[in-house]
Amino acid sequence: MHIVLTYRPLSEGDLEQFIALEQYVFPANYASYVLTTAATNRLARLRGVFAGDTLAAQLEILPLRVQAGAGDVPVAGIAGIASAPQLRRRGHVALLLRHLADELRAGGVPLAILYPFKPSFYRRYGWAIFFERRMYSGPPERFASFRAAPGAWQQAGDAQIEEFDRIYRGALRGRFGPIVRNADWWRNLVLNLHGRPRQSYIWRDERGQGRSYLIYHLRNDDGGRCMEFRELVALDPTARAQLFHFIAGHQDHVQHVRFRAPADAPVNLLFPDPLECSVEPDFMLRLLDVPAALEAYPFAPEARGRLTLAVNDDWIAENDAVFALEFATGRCQVTRLPPGAPADLRCEVGTLAQIYSRYLRPRTAAAFGVLEAHRREALNLAEQAFAGLAPFSSDFF
């Protein structure tokens, strides 16, 4: 019997199937949060592949913007990817992602990000890990060397969202990946955990200027009482030291502390006895529309010149081409060249996504054999154009 597969937005009549599958696939806490969030337009963001009348695979589109260099770019966050247990391993998720890519491209969205259940599954479709986080942990006694500066900590919450956001955006400026948050995002996904407020404090200097903040909750694990940080964010070294001085004050209350930091943040340089540190790969990035993605990025104004780039993309044919990239005044103008045109540089679309996000430097990519460089001047220009801090995001969806 032939069953027709169709991709479409969900209707109200599909919600019972969608919710049942979401609850089946994801942990109860996550499903409970998502289902009770006041999101009147959520239905319009849901997509599915149907096998006849049965919802075979599903996802949710989150229209986002992420910080990039000195500005920000539009991106689709892809959440809640799930397939029906009785219909798995039949290509339904691949079909769902393929149709989604076409829809997003048609809507002018050049980039998409997701958290992978298995990176190798998404890599075959041109997705690539685009940042890593460092996870630091240790007892609060390790923070005892940090001293208080003039100023004070004040408990904060929803009423201080604008102040939180000013510090957050300022501290992470120049990185690719931090989500541009609105008040609902701050309220529902940062300051609260499953509907309950996290502990949140802002450090203000003697002039009353907020310069750092921390957001955390306390939990019990095998090691005892743990201080688990959602975020530790500071605008400058003095403000950062106040974060660690705050932690030191909990030596009699918790046994250990855990927090995340960007991959290029050498936190242990500041500690007489280093903290334990591990590296965690995180979100994946897909360039849906290579020319549009490059033209949307606010490049450093110092990058000037022209190079040609061949992109291999066997999943989105429009990206599989040779492009001329002209850098000037902080922008990149992209021109598609005739098939077979000579290229200064050549790489897979996933490698380009990692270079685009500043996860991978062009020279490093060439040294490791994932970027072909046929003209040294072009490689030097790419190195200058794609310079920047390591990508980072402290959010999850």
pLDDT tens, position by position, 63-91: 999 999 889 999 999 999 999 999 999 99
Helix boundaries (H) for 334-375: 349-356, 362-367
At residue 47, what is the residue type?
Answer: R
Token code pair at residue 123: 């890599």
> How many helices (DSSP H) and strands (DSSP E) are in the chain?
11, 21
> What pLDDT is attached to residue 41?
75
Q: How far apart (Å, rounded) are the C-alpha atoms in residues 222 and 241?
A: 29
Q: Which two tokens stand for residue 18?
A: 């969608």
Decide: helix, strand or coil at residue 297.
Answer: coil
Element (H, E) at 328: strand 321-328
Query: Looking at this protein, which amino acid is placed at residue 295?
Result: E
What's the rounded Cα separation, in Å, for the pair 165 and 163? 5
3-state per-residue secondary structure call for 70-131: CEEEEEEEEEEEEECHHHCCCCHHHHHHHHHHHHHHHCCCCEEEECCCCHHHHHCCCCEECC
pLDDT digits (tens, 9 = 90+) for 283-339: 999 999 999 999 999 998 899 999 999 999 999 999 999 999 999 999 999 999 999
> Which domains does the chain show, CATH number per domain?
5-109 (3.40.630.30), 133-281 (3.40.630.30), 289-385 (3.30.1050.10)
pTM of the model: 0.94
Helix (H) or strand (E) holding 60: strand 54-68
User: What integer pLDDT is reported at residue 393 of this predicted model?
Assistant: 97
